[in-house]
Structure formats: C-alpha cells, structure tokens
Structure 1
Amino acid sequence: MPPEWAPQDRVWMAFPRVGNTLGDDAPSADEARDAWAAVANAVSGFEPVTMVVDPSALGEARRRLTGEIEVVEAPLDDFWMRDIGPTFVIGDDGALGAIDWTFNGWGAGAWATWERDDRIAGFVAERSGAVHLPSTLVNEGGAIHVDGEGTVLLTETVQLDPRRNPYATKERVEWEMWRTLHATKVIWLPRGLTRDYESAGTRGHVDMVASFARPGVVLQHWQDNASHPDYAVVRQVRDVLQEATDAAGRSLEFIELPAPETLRDHDGFVDWNYANHLVVNGGVIACGYGEPAGDGRAAGILADAYDREVVTIDARPILARGGGIHCITQQQPSTPPPFALPVIERAMRQDQTTDRYA
C-alpha cells in the first residue's frame, strides 16, 4: 500500500443520503450535504474527484458539486467512503488492486445498516479498473495507516473487536496485513479517542489519533488540557509509539498536532482533532473548527510536515456525525507506467542500506 503522500490519480467520496447520519431536520441535512460538498470541491482543485451518489440524492449532489467532479450512481446506506470503500494497493507488476475488507457497520452497531455499503468496495474496484481483492477480515480504511515502507498502525480495540472479528488474534490480523498490504511490521496502539467509544463510534479508528507524515515520522493528535479524558489517552498512545520501531528498524519521531481549545459540545467531550486530514497532490485538506488560532497553527504544522499547500474546511458538521475529512475520502494512488518498474526496483535494491526508498 503506497503512503498517502504518494502521487494519486483521484479521490473517491460518497454523497450524503437520507438516513440516520444525515440529520432529523432540513437544516441539519443541508449542513451535512454542504460539508461533504465543500471537501469534494476543495479536493477537485488539486486532482480529480469521483463522487458515488445514491439515486435518491442526485439532485442535492448536482446542486452543490462543481462540474469538474465526476458523479456515479450506486445504492448507499451511509457515506463514509474511507470505511465502506476499498483500500487501494499496487501490485509487484504495477497493477492497481482494491482490498475489499468485510464491512459490518463498524462492529454491527445497532444504528448501522450495511447491506448496500458492503458492496461499495467492489463497485469502486470495478469502476477504477482495479483488481478486486476480497478479505474476510472485518476492517475499515480508517482503521489503518501505513508509511509505504511496510509499517502499519492498528488499534487493538478495532481489529480485535469481538463484534468485528470474534476469532481473531494479533497473529492472524498481522498475517492478513502482510497478505493484503504487504505490511511487514504492525504497531498496535492500545485504543482511540474517548468519544469514539460511544454508541455511534468506531471503537478506536487510528486516523483520529495518529498518521505518518513520512517514514519514521508520526503526526499525533495532542490534548494538553488535563480536564479532557483524551489527555491521558494521547499519552498512553505516545508511550506505545515511543517503544516501537518501524519496518526499517527506526525509532519514531513525533510531530504534535495540538487539539483545538474547545473541550465540549452539547453531547460531551469533543473528539476534534487535526490528525484526520487528507493528503492530495500538492496539497492537504485539513479539518477546521472555527478557531482561527488553532486552525491556523495546525495548518502551519501540516504545511511544514508535507511541504504542501493546506486548505482548511470547517469539519464540525462532519465530526458531529462521527468522523472527519479523512473518513469521508479515499485516495486512489497512481500506478507507475510499465517501463518504469525495472528502474524503480533497481533503485530500491540500491537503496536497501539507507533509511529511505529512492
């Protein structure tokens, strides 16, 4: 699986449709539609976007999306493309592959339906021309993060969740990470953010907590207010990461992404974070929370980490529904032209003694 900063052909998304996540009233529904569209329109300034739209939502989608965005129809239950869509990989022959994880509504949540969503990964695989690669592991794209050199971050409370994979062991999960992603090193984080364990949460998706900025360097959500329960969580995660090494044997470096100042909303302690961002060709689409100082500081950190332009989108309507900008998007990596493969392989062999790929 290429890292998220590798060249991309496009970003896939799914447009909100009527259902539990959208909202109970017209203003709430419009808020969600506008937020998803704002992300799509921002991404389209950097690279192509394909939006999967339920037939019932075509009119709402076309009113909000720029003409540059490709719209394709498919029945949906929900619209978190990172989780219902495939995870793209590149084969040894340079072919595009699409891992179709088994999806069961984030651990068979009582509020979730997934009969249609479980087919979206296969649909996207076919539309993208990728080789369809099914997996029996119940997993979601937001529950993994890779460095492109064989390291993957997982969370014990997700892949080992008895409502997802009741018979799984770490060894079995690690084997499946190797089979599907060619990950040779798994770093197991103990848990995710506090709010993610409420009834509509994912029970610990890693993309709300930490992500690789480059091999050996982790961007980590950081809560410095001791009154917030995530104050202890981020330190527990840091303790594990500090003891870990990656696939190349390196100890990890850290870039902290300080949390916004807001601690609570009407439902309790917030999970607002800047770790849940999308890297695109030449840019980063970052979560914003209506806090100029905090949003600006995070944008500066992300710009320095990736050396790319940062566009900040108000993500509060997305976070209120259970995720962030990374959660509603899925990048499709570019595949190398066939003639380039021997050059890439030769360069990698020559570079095996260093800490980077050529």
Structure 2
Amino acid sequence: MNWTMPPETAPQERIWMAFPRQGMTLGATEAERAAGYAAWAMVANTIAERMPVTMVVDPTETARAASMLSGEITRVEHPIGEFWMRDTGPTFVLSDDGRLGAVDWIFNGWGGQDWSDPGPDRYVAAFIAEIAGAERLPSLLVNEGGGLHVDGAGTVLLTDTVQLGAERNPHADRGRVEAEMARLLGATNPVWLSRGLTRDYEAFGTSGHVDMVATCPAPGQILLHVQDNPEHPDHAVMQALRAELEAARDASGAPFEIIELPAPELLRDAEGWVDYSYVNHLAINGAVIACGFGEPKEDARAAEILGHAYPGREIVTLDARELFARGGGIHCITQQQPRASAP
C-alpha cells in the first residue's frame, strides 16, 4: 500500500485543533491565560465559519471550551498535555485507492523540553485516527507535523536540527529519515535546510520547525520568510537558507520558484528577537487563514502576496501575536484532514 500526503491546498474534510489547558505554555498570570484561550478560540471560530472544525478538549477545560467555541465546532474530550495540534496530532495521508491514513509520529515534547508535558499526547494521534476512520500508521521517528512541509508532488522540506537532532533521533541519519518520509508521505524528493529561525532555539522553541521558514503553495514554488533588517540575526539565517533552496531542485529536477514573504518591521519584544513569520499560515477550503502582527502596512503586503500565491482563495488575517508569544502560529495549532475518496 502506498501513502501520500496531499498538499494543504487539496480538498479538506475538516480541521483539527486542541483547546488550551493550563500550564507553562498557556501563561503564568490570569491575564496571560485569558489571552491564550481567546487566541485559540478566535482561530477555531474563524475557520468554523468556512468549514468543519473538531476540537480536542482536555477534561479540565470542558466548560470553558463550551463557553468560548462556536456551536458549529465539534468538541471531543480526551486528555492532552500540549495543544499545538500540528505537532501532537497525526499527519493525515491518503492511500492509492483514496483511503485515509493517519501517521502517528513519536512526540517527545520537541526534543524533551523541560517545560513541556508530552505524556498524554502520545495517545492523541491514535484517538483522532479512530474518530476520523483513518488507518493508524505508526512511526518510530520522533517528529512533529510542523517539522515538515510537502508540495504533494514528491517534495518534502525538512530541517537538520529537527529530524536529525540528538534530542529527537540520536541514531538517525538522513537516509533513515528520507526512507520514512517516502514510506509514510510518498515524498521521494527531500530538501534539507540546515536550521530554523533564531528564536526557535530559545524558550518555547522547537529547534527549527520548517513551517516558520518556508512552505509550498504549489509544486515547484516556495513561499520563503525574509528578514530584511540586518540588525536581526535572522537576516543572515534567511540569506543562508535561501542559498540552500536556490541550490535545491523540485521532484521534476527544476529549480524552485522562490516567492518572498517579508517579515513585519518589529524586531524585538520583551523576550528578545521575534520570529514573526507570515509563512506560518493555514490553507483551508476556499481560504487562507493568515497571521497578522498589528502592522497594517506589512500585514496588508503579506495578504497581497498570499493572494497571488493562492489564487481564488479568501485571505483572512488574524492577529497572531498571542500565539507567537507562546511559541508558534496559526499553522502550528491546526491540522488539516484531507478529503478521502474511499471509506
């Protein structure tokens, strides 16, 4: 049986999310926690206006989720530790005959971060697979959905410091990782990037998730994060990553068309260098749910670029600053389930 991960632009059945629960990631004060709950609910309710959403809710948050989420959202109860569904949930794939599969990566809290609570999440992917009617596809690779992007035509974007990091897969090499990507995702053209953004190696970081750096709106195309200000350390980081992508080829052997997505102007927040990235958006049926950062000119420029990259889709920009303050963006808290053509 051959499995393939469709591109995010393929027709989707629903979007999966996890409702926040109290802990270090959510916030230390009541105000911080309230802002976190509101940010997750805003994203979920916005998507639910356009397509089905299922929210996994920890038993400790049942009442709050019911009060904050749209009645259009399906809620299912299950213990969770973290609530970044891109990473803790399954990666959905389709078989040659159109059946739904769910890749169950090993999740160890982004390499065993001391603030993470990965224990309950080892069962989340299997739980979702059962509800979705998907065949569970277990993997021995420690990995997260935010650590890869596919174009649906054979290419997968990966990062040395994620899949090959000693805290995740100390005995793996590129060959083993690439074989697993081919087996589970149908991706036979791996493109390795050397690292991720600067802040992603600090507190609440993932050590280099590619979904903050680059994505594939179509085969042969890459939307690339750009930091134009040389004061920011990511200016040099992104110049190096662009050179790596310019040297890479798509599955057909052609160079990639690189489309720049410049970062907003803000360089620092109270914690240090920001990793604000418009790349961390979600394509859904008929729309793109985009990150905004309270900078009207830059947010509008990013929306225009996304509109050209995803023709015919509505571009919906949501303020993502509270998500980024906790370590990620809109893509990080969502997971798409592609539409299957067979039971």
Deviations 1:47-100 (A, max 9, x none): 100000001111111111110000000001110000000000001121100000
Alignment of 1:184-223 (within 5 A): 184-223=188-227
Q: Deviations over 1:3-48 (max 9, x none)?
A: 0000000000000001111111111111000000000011112210
Aligned to 2:324: 319
Residues 1:329 and 2:334 are matched in the alignment: yes
Unaligned ranges ≥5, structure 2:
none
How far does residue 251 in structure 1 lie from its aligned partner after superposition?
A: 0.7
SS at structure 1 position matched to 2:199: helix
Rounded Cα–Cα distance in structure 2 between residues aligned with 1:36 and 1:159 = 27
Stretches of structure 1 that go unaligned for 5 or more consecutive residues are: 339-358
Q: Name 2:121's counterpart in structure 1.
A: 117
Deviation at 1:200, TM superposition (A): 2.1
Q: What is the aligned length? A: 338
For 1:264, the aligned partner's letter is R
Q: Write out per-residue CA displacement over residues 85-141 of structure 1, whole angstroms, 9 at most, x where no aligned residue.
A: 000000112110000000100001111121101111111111100000000000000
Aligned to 2:286: 282
Structure 1 residue 337: deviation in Å?
4.8
| Counterpart residue number, 1:181 | 185
**Residues 1-358 of structure 1: matches in 2 within 5 Å?**
1-307=5-311, 308-337=313-342
1 CA distance for matches of 2:29 and 2:342?
49
Q: Write the distance in 2 (CA, Å) between the matches of 1:294 and 1:58.
A: 37
Q: Distance in 2 between matches of 1:200 and 1:258?
A: 23
Name the SS of the counterpart of 1:249 in structure 2: coil
Letter of the 1:27 partner, please give it: A
CA–CA distance in 2 between the matches of 1:24 and 1:199?
14
CA deviation digits over 1:292-347, x for unaligned, max 9?
Answer: 11111111111111011011111000000000000000000001258xxxxxxxxx
Separation (CA, whole Å) in 2 of partners of 1:113 and 1:40 = 23
Percent of aligned pairs sharing the same letter: 60
Partner of residue 343, structure 1:
none
**Distance in 2, Cα, partners of 1:279 & 1:287:** 12
- Residue identity opposite 1:314 in structure 2: D
Residues of 2 paired with 1:12 and 1:271: CA distance? 24
The separation in 2 between residues aligned to 1:337 and 1:116, in whole angstroms, is: 31
In 2: Cα distance, 1:119 partner to 1:274 partner: 31
* In structure 1, distance between residues paired with 2:229 and 2:86: 30
Secondary structure at 2:328 match in 1: coil
**Deviating 4+ runs (over 4 angstroms):** none
